[in-house]
């Protein structure tokens, strides 16, 4: 349900913001004329690569003491691989339409990136260890924000999707592996 909310409702405020300030049509908002397989390929490649790097950082002993690690939260959810891919697509499309296509033209890439990471809870002044994960994610978000400028919306959507998909698949696989060994 949250995936569908992200996919269907998140783009609306982004569109209305952009339309209010720049009188944008739906086709301009979705950058229909800029759909380019090469940019999408670059986005997928970048998202896959950065996800593996982020995963290695997340597995560092430094993060073991965090009570609200994303991978621990996911262990309580009965997610399948297809659920993870679906949620990744919803987040990639919905969040990028809101933040990159809707908010970034108004606030710029730097402020939009910080707001994006902060709204995900990864920049928490009361939990500096959790904020360290935010510092891992922030460069990724900054790069896809500038990628949006240079390669277009679909680069950002592809990168976001790939990043989330890799992490979902790894975490679901780890959950299945640990439940087989400890059940």
pLDDT digits (tens), the chain, 183 positions: 778 888 888 889 898 888 888 888 888 888 898 899 999 999 999 999 999 999 998 888 877 766 555 555 566 678 889 999 999 999 999 999 999 999 999 999 999 999 999 998 888 888 777 788 888 999 999 999 999 999 999 999 999 999 999 998 998 887 777 654 444
92/140 Cα distance (integer angstroms): 13
Q: Give me the helices (H) in 23-152, please.
A: 26-29, 37-58, 70-75, 81-96, 104-107, 109-119, 128-151
53/47 Cα distance (integer angstroms): 10
170/159 Cα distance (integer angstroms): 17
> What 8-state DSSP symbol labels residue 116?
H
């Amino acid at each position: 349900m949250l995936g569908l909310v992200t996919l269907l409702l998140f783009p609306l405020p982004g569109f209305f913001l952009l339309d209010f300030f720049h009188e944008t049509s739906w086709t301009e908002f979705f950058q229909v004329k800029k759909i380019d397989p090469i940019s999408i390929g670059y986005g997928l490649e970048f998202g896959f690569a950065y996800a593996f790097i982020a995963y290695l950082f997340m597995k560092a002993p430094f993060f073991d003491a965090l009570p609200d690690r994303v991978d621990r939260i996911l262990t309580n959810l009965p997610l399948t691989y297809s659920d993870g891919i679906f949620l990744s697509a919803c987040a990639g499309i919905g969040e990028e339409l809101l933040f990159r296509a809707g908010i970034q033209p108004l606030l710029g890439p730097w402020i939009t990136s910080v707001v994006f990471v902060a709204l995900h809870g990864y920049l928490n002044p009361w939990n500096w260890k959790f904020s360290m994960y935010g510092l891992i994610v922030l460069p990724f978000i900054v790069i896809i924000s500038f990628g949006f400028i240079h390669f277009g919306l679909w680069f950002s959507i592809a990168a976001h999707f790939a990043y989330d998909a890799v992490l979902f698949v790894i975490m679901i696989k780890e959950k299945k592996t640990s439940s087989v060994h400890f059940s």
